[in-house]
Structures are given as structure tokens and as C-alpha cells.
Amino acid sequence: MSHQFSQGDFVYLPSDTFIYQFGEDTCDWFVSQRKTDKPMYLMFLKENVSNSAYGDIFFEGSVWSVSLEDVYDYEGGTQ
């Protein structure tokens, strides 16, 4: 499935979505992991350069990564 998110778009993450902070230049291991406790809208920054299955988002003042399978458009709830 093609994801058409652009830098600065707001995207929807459902509750119970895992987000990660990966090690430098890799998605093979993460240094931090969180699970969202409620649905939220966050700013999409870019496709992750290490693994195109992930996108980078802005969460609580930091850059985090999320599987693009878990991210939905801001409007209409479509993926």
C-alpha cells in the first residue's frame, strides 16, 4: 500500500500504537519504545531514511518513528 504523507501533514495514530526511537542510522534496534495510551494527531516529518516501512513523527518534543501501517490520514481516517 502506498502512503502519501508529506512533511508537515498531521496524521492520526490510534491508541495502543507502538512508536520508537531507533539507534543512529538503523531500524534494527531501538533505544526507546512507547505505546500510545489514547488516539492522537501528530505531525508527520518524513519517511524514515533507514527503513521505508517507518515514518518519522513529532511527539512530545522529539522525533519518533512509527510503522506506516499504523498511521492514518488526518481527515476521514483513511490509510
Dihedral of CA atoms 13, 18, 23, 24 in degrees, nearest 10, equals -10
- Tell me which of 51 and 16 has the higher pLDDT: 16
Residue 1 confidence class, pLDDT cut points 50, 70, 90: very low
| This prediction's pTM | 0.81
d(CA 37, CA 65): 16
Kindly state the cell numbers that stand for 46: 518524513
> Which residue in the block uniquely carries the three cell numbers 519518533?
64
pLDDT at 31: 82
> What is the set of domains in the chain, with CATH numbers?
10-73 (2.30.30)
pLDDT tens-place string over residues 19-76:
998 877 666 667 889 999 999 999 999 998 888 889 999 999 999 999 999 999 887 5
The DSSP annotation for 29-64 comes to SEEEEEE-SS-EEEEEEEE-SS-TTEEEEEETTEEE
Of residues 77 and 1, more confidently modeled: 77
